[in-house]
Amino acid sequence: MTTAARTPQQDRSRATRRRLLEAAVDCLAELGWNGSTVTVVAERAGVTRGAAQHHFPTREDLFTAAVEHVTVERLAAVRADADELPPPGPARTEAVVDLIVRLYTGPLFRAALHLWVAAATEQPLRERIVALENRVGRESHRAALEFLGVDESAAGVRASVQATLDLARGLGLANLLTDDAARRAGVVRQWSRMLQTALDAASAETPGQP
């Protein structure tokens, strides 16, 4: 079989895989771990259970791959919009904090949370989720540094950025049961001021920084 003949089949396979990943995240966010079986995801994706298991032999394979796939896509989309951030300064810092918080207050975070809860009692899933969260955490931290335009080696910067990510997770949890948008906006503004103060102090203490 020639490469040209294989291409449509490969494209269909990639499209099927993508539908399964996106359906898995939607199911987790809406139905939780117990309600999100491979059969349910396959039905939502419009494929057979056999096709789903061809791509993802186990349930753990499917859901960890799904959360990782969507996380990578969302971070890539955020990076694509980074050029539209304000110039360095308080406005940019607040925009970055708001951007990070929004990453943790949507369906993806809700889906990931269901995985965390399930992983607390299911050892095979736990090992996968710990590894996944470590990768996602490193990438999120790197992206935050990039958007803020700060040097992690400066005193206090690493801790300040990590605290921002931890705050975002906490706000995401608060948003699970009720719409917390109004209170969250005030927290974002106040935290942005505090973060800017910390970044300014770190810059002043670091030789060669503006």
**Host H or E run for residue 56:** none
pLDDT of residue 124: 82
Closest C-alpha to 19, from 40, 45, 39, 41: 45
pLDDT of residue 51: 93
Token pair of 169 as six digits: 């997770």
Are the C-beta atoms of 108 and 115 separated by less than 8 Å? no
Burial class (CB in 10 A: 0-12, 13-18, 19+), 13: middle
Q: What is the pTM of this model?
A: 0.81
Cα–Cα dist 23/19, whole Å = 6
Ramachandran assignment for 193, one of left (phi > 0), alpha (psi -120 to 50 degrees), beta (any other): alpha
pLDDT of residue 97: 95
pLDDT of residue 86: 93
Are the C-beta atoms of 36 and 28 separated by less than 8 Å? yes
pLDDT of residue 72: 84
Cβ contacts of 119 within 8 Å, gap of 6 or more: 125, 126, 128, 129, 130
- pLDDT per residue as tens, the chain (210 positions): 455 555 687 888 899 999 999 999 999 999 999 999 999 999 999 999 999 999 999 999 999 999 888 888 888 877 887 788 999 999 999 999 999 998 888 888 888 888 888 988 888 889 888 988 888 888 889 999 999 999 999 989 999 999 999 999 999 888 887 887 888 999 999 999 999 999 999 888 765 555
Token pair of 12 as six digits: 């269909």
Q: Alpha helices of 104-148 — where are they, by DSSP H?
A: 107-119, 123-148
